[in-house]
Amino acid sequence: MSNNPSDKKYCYRYYDIHDGQGRPIVAMLKRVIIRETEKTYWHVEDMPHMSLEKMRQYHSRPNKKRVKRCLKNAARSGYHMTKEQAMKAFICISRDLI
């Protein structure tokens, strides 16, 4: 078990919000993938001081409300495997709202 952050795989999501003065901001969420199959992956918030294995143990408890599931390569998925895919999905959604 290493505590190397490079062992962790991440997924990304861009979203738009407004700051306290009403200015629009584009923010990015970055979450750790704790399990993946051929078509699906499960992700949680990053805990930088925990190794991937310890995160898996921590989130394997019965109360798994923090664990989210997404489909790989789905255009309408909330989270994406790369920053580029997440940005493309964000731009497509933003265009649809205009």
With contact defined as beta carbons under 8 Å apart, do 10 and 32 qualify? yes
CA atoms of 71 and 37, how far apart (whole Å): 10
Q: Which of 83, 81, 5, 6 is nearest to 40 (CA)?
A: 81
State the pLDDT at residue 33: 92
pLDDT score recorded for residue 37: 92
In this structure, what is the dihedral angle of CA atoms 13, 19, 24, 26, given to the nearest 10 degrees? -20
Cα angle value 46/58/1 (rounded, 5°): 80
In a structure prediction context, what are the per-residue pLDDT tens digits for the chain, which is 98 residues long? 455 656 899 999 888 888 889 888 888 889 999 999 999 999 999 988 999 999 888 888 777 678 888 888 776 677 888 888 888 878 776 666 55
Question: What is the 8-class DSSP label of residue 86?
Answer: H
Provide the whole-model pTM.
0.73
